[in-house]
Amino acid sequence: MTAAAIVFLVAWNVTTTFLALLVLLRQVAVTLLFHFGRRGAESRPVPDAELPRVTVIVPAHNEERVIRGCLDCLTRMDYPADRYEIIVIDDRSRDGTGAIADDFAARHPCVRVIHRPQDAAPGKPAALLDAINSSTSEVLVFFDADYLPPPHIIRRLVAPFADPLVGATMGRVVPYNANANMLTKLLDLERRGGYVVDQEVRHRMSLLPQFGGTTGAVRRSALEAVGGWNTVSLAEDTDLTYRLFIAGMKVAYVADAECYEESPETWQVRYRQVKRWAIGHNDCLGRYFLATLGATRQPLMARLDAALVLLVYTVPSLVLLNLVIALAMPAQLGETWASLSIMTMSLTLFTGIGNFAPFYQIAAGCVSDGQRRAFSAVPFLFVSSFTSLLACNVGVLQLLKDKLLGITTQWDKTQRFRSSS
């Protein structure tokens, strides 16, 4: 091995070790800020006369098991009827989804159904664009077909738009099937850490909360100002989050806008879900990392934190690559004590301490919710962490392959488990 190659590998090792420490320190700092930092200002209720016209969009591809529950909730919203509509996108469904949606439309004037033909462009982002283009409302709200939104949620999601700089809002997602099995318990823990602590602190500290394509709302004028809806990305919500941020706008997290979702109940479904997220998120990393750091209309700390969050689905691939380097370099360097020490320390920091960093947030989330017993599943989190690590690595490899071959990665729908009753 040449001296230049050795220098490069050592530099790479040091860089990724530093990144691992940043991940760890960020998670710890976020948790401390959650406990001891200042509280964010709550949005004031908006009088009925000032509420904007809202269109709720529900994409539905073969969702007959769950869509009835979602529409039943949406047709009972506490929102002025003259400024409220629901668009269901029957996206090439081959089951009873379209018939169920049509039945609701016949009984509720606020419900409208778009039936996409079988030859329509596949994927959730393309389906959402059809609904967006068919609506004229200033505020667009998105729910997946398995979601069960409570009556107050629309009011709470639109309240932050009183600030003209807010381009999108995001509520808290809560699994309703957390006790189905060990996997759903682990996913419930991850949700607590991500929403109760991480999203909340990002909101409090004027950083960048993540807009999600479910339980989220977008101001139409803001969407149009940043180029409209992206139908190519598999993480269209992350894509929009960063385009808004780069344009100088804000995303508001609304902690009391809780909505209930169905978590995957099998490891295979969870694996495919994380793989899709990894592909979409890393695509956004390539598109927006440098632009995020250079978004001078945003505070410096917000830019640095947003750039670090973009790396979250890249870290597992760096872990794997570091492992390969750690196994290869000692043989090339004669297995000296120095090289072994460097590799052992960096690999431990990167895959051990750094990988456990989210546990701090999870513990804080359980305590904040007053549900400390939920934390008892933490010892099993290594199973879901390993599954996510594997899915992320496969997702990164698929993204690289598709980019090299010029292939558009296809959307992979998450399977549902709830009984239609």
Question: In one letter, which amino acid is 274?
Answer: V
Name 91's bridge partners: 116
Q: With cut-offs at 50, 70 and 90, classify the pLDDT of residue 229.
A: very high
Q: Which two tokens stand for residue 311?
A: 């790396």
The percent of residues in the chain predicted with pLDDT above 90, rounded, is 58
Spatial distance between the Cα atoms of 310 and 210, rounded to a whole number of angstroms: 11
Cβ atoms of residues 230 and 287 within 8 Å: no
The percent of residues in the chain predicted with pLDDT above 70, rounded, is 88
- Model pLDDT, residue 329: 61
Q: pLDDT digit string (tens) for 148-179? A: 999 999 999 999 999 999 999 999 999 999 99
Name 253's bridge partners: 170
Q: Where does residue 228 fall: left (phi above 0), alpha (psi -120 to 50 degrees), or beta otherwise?
A: left
Spatial distance between the Cα atoms of 249 and 167, rounded to a whole number of angstroms: 6
Q: With cut-offs at 50, 70 and 90, classify the pLDDT of residue 354.
A: very low
Name 86's bridge partners: 56, 111
Q: pLDDT digit string (tens) for 359-395? A: 777 888 888 888 877 777 877 887 888 888 889 889 9
- Model pLDDT, residue 256: 92
- Model pLDDT, residue 94: 93
Domains and CATH numbers, the chain: 3-36+310-405 (no CATH), 56-267 (3.90.550.10)
**What DSSP letter does each residue of 286-317 carry, written as one string?**
HHHHHHHHT-TTS-HHHHHHHHHHHTTTTHHH
Instruction: Locate all alpha helices (DSSP H) within 179-266, ordered by sequence.
Output: 182-191, 200-204, 220-225, 236-246
User: Who wins on pLDDT, 336 or 63?
Assistant: 63
Neighbours of 351 (CB within 10 A): 21
Spatial distance between the Cα atoms of 272 and 264, rounded to a whole number of angstroms: 10
